[in-house]
Amino acid sequence: NAGVTQTPKFQVLKTGQSMTLQCAQDMNHNSMYWYRQDPGMGLRLIYYSASEGTTDKGEVPNGYNVSRLNKREFSLRLESAAPSQTSVYFCASSEYSPLHFGNGTRLTVT
């Protein structure tokens, strides 16, 4: 049982480049989330999807877009990466509680 799988694990981008972070869960959960984690700060919600076909903004959505491709997959896209988006990105899923997290994508924007 893989749980929540994120790809890639590491990525280095140059300012202005674009990329998509992939997330898939095999627990048949309706809700999926994207968080970012920065040193000295708690996890901050970027976007979430309460169910297939719906997405909503979280606390820090600027500079990001998401797609809930199907019940299993929820992707996060950076259209024009900025150094301020250097962070660790976590995808999570849940069915009521608790959250199940992937192991993160470590993104560096130079």
Partner 1 sequence: KNQVEQSPQSLIILEGKNCTLQCNYTVSPFSNLRWYKQDTGRGPVSLTIMTFSENTKSNGRYTATLDADTKQSSLHITASQLSDSASYICVVSDGSQAGTALIFGKGTTLSVSS
Q: Which is nearer to partner 1, 17 or 43 (CB)?
A: 43
Shortest gap between Cβ of 16 and partner 1 (angstroms)? 28
In the DSSP assignment, the letter for residue 106 is E
Decide whether 10 or 28 has the Cβ nearer to partner 1: 10
Nearer to partner 1, 15 or 108 (CB): 108
CB of residue 104 to partner 1, shortest distance in Å: 6
d(CA 54, CA 47): 11
Residues forming the site for partner 1 (CB under 8 A)? 4, 31, 33, 40-45, 48-50, 56, 58-59, 90, 92, 97-104
Torsion of CA 8, 23, 77, 19, to 10 degrees: 20
Residue ranges of E strands in the chain: 4-7, 10-13, 19-25, 31-37, 44-49, 56-57, 64-68, 74-78, 87-94, 100-101, 105-109
Q: How far is the CB of 86 from partner 1 (least distance, A)?
A: 17
Residue 17 or 101: the one with the smaller Cβ distance to partner 1 is: 101
